[in-house]
Amino acid sequence: MTSPLAFLKGHGTENDFVILPDPENAVDLPPAVVARLCDRRAGIGGDGVLHVVRSAAHPEAKHLADEAEWFMDYRNADGSVAEMCGNGVRVFARYLQHAGHVTAGEVPVATRGGIKHVHLDKNGSVTVRMGKAVLPEAGVTVTVDGRSWPARNVNMGNPHAVAFVESLDHAGSLDAEPPYEPAAVYPEGVNIEFVADRGPRHVAMRVHERGAAETRSCGTGACAVAVATARRDGADPAVTGMPATYTVDVLGGTLVITEHPDGEIEMTGPAVIVAEGTVEPTWLDA
């Protein structure tokens, strides 16, 4: 790289991201570069990278270009590629608005998990139609410090294991991925959520994100938690015919998740751009 690389920094309920505007997909992002950008001591710092590319310019998104102009090429903090990121897609849409590419209202965003329809509210909140959850029958048992819990398998375009606990302290440090069995249920790894009740239709969660350790928030994880909690509570919208809305507290704030009788899930929360600047190529190539 011979010229400075432009970046922005943003977060959604403190799930934070390095944003790289690259409309023509001209920037090479090997895992080592992504990890260097996300390093909180030696780099910019973030839970992941939002690579902003026009759909028509990216080989994985060309087939979606007629439906969505922009593709969220999302990378975990360790450089691995991810299918989707719920907080990330809100911040991605906020960036598009910040850059003047879109205005308030409906914004389609292409992701590896399909087209996500985002609504930028004038009051600053962002609502994303996250699609429908898939609930595979096979689950796992998660173990931390000698305690074990069954975890519900929920797929939101990326895999989740949702375990209900009496106290979020039972999740331990979450610096390392909690062990789970059988490992074969998630051959490509999994996001693990620990969930405790806070009141009627109100829960709190902590999450170990695949490729990023514990994060302050996880949008797809909050959706998976709401779906799993509705099933536990006997509030499956497909059965009751009524939407199920849950408030989900994460370490970085609060998200509101609604699952509709047709299975469509909506997530509402904040998205903030906090800084922008450039990265020196000599540092990035070191």
As annotated, the binding site includes 15, 76, 86-87, 158, 191, 209-210, 219-220
Query: Which homologous superfamily is 5-125+271-284 in?
Result: Diaminopimelate Epimerase; Chain A, domain 1 (3.10.310.10)
β-pair type (48-54, 15-21): parallel
- At 244-259, the pLDDT tens digits run 999 999 999 999 999 9
- Has residue 77 got a pLDDT over 70? yes
Do domains 5-125+271-284 and 140-269 share one topology? The answer is yes
Predicted TM-score of the model (pTM): 0.89
For a pLDDT cut of 70, what percent of the chain falls above it? Answer: 100
At 95, give phi and psi (nearest 5°).
-60, -45
| Closest by CA position to 70, among listed 85, 87, 89, 83 | 89
What pLDDT does residue 286 have? Answer: 73
For residue 284, is pLDDT > 90? no
Catalytic residue, from 218, 222, 267, 271: name it: 218
Is the model's pLDDT at 163 over the cut of 80? yes
- Cα separation, 17 vs 250, whole angstroms: 17
C-beta separation of 113 from 157 below 8 A: yes
Told to judge if 38 belongs to the known catalytic residues of this protein, a careful annotator would answer: no
Q: Please check whether the domain covering 140-269 is classified as CATH 3.10.310.10.
A: yes
Query: H/E/C letters for each residue in the chain?
Result: CCCCEEEEEEEECCEEEEEEECCCCCCCCCHHHHHHHHCCCCCCCCCEEEEEEEHHHCCCCHHHCCCCCEEEEEEECCCCECCCCHHHHHHHHHHHHHCCCCCCEEEEEEECCEEEEEEECCCCCEEEEEEECECCCCCEEEEECCEEEEEEEEECCCEEEEEECCCHHHHCCCCCCCCEECHHHCCCCCEEEEEEEEECCEEEEEEEECCCEEECCCHHHHHHHHHHHHHHCCCCHHHHCCCEEEEEEECCEEEEEEECCCCEEEEEECCEEEEEEEECHHHHCC
**What number is the average pLDDT over the span 103-116?**
94
Domain ranges of the chain: 5-125+271-284, 140-269
- Looking at the predicted structure, is the pLDDT value of residue 124 above 90? no
Mean pLDDT over all residues of the chain? 95
Q: Which residues are annotated as a binding site for substrate?
A: 15, 76, 86-87, 158, 191, 209-210, 219-220
pLDDT beyond 90 at 212: no
Overall average pLDDT of the 201-229 stretch: 95
85 is catalytic: yes
Tokens of 212: 């990023």
Catalytic residue among 5, 37, 44, 85: 85
Q: What pLDDT sits at residue 1? A: 65
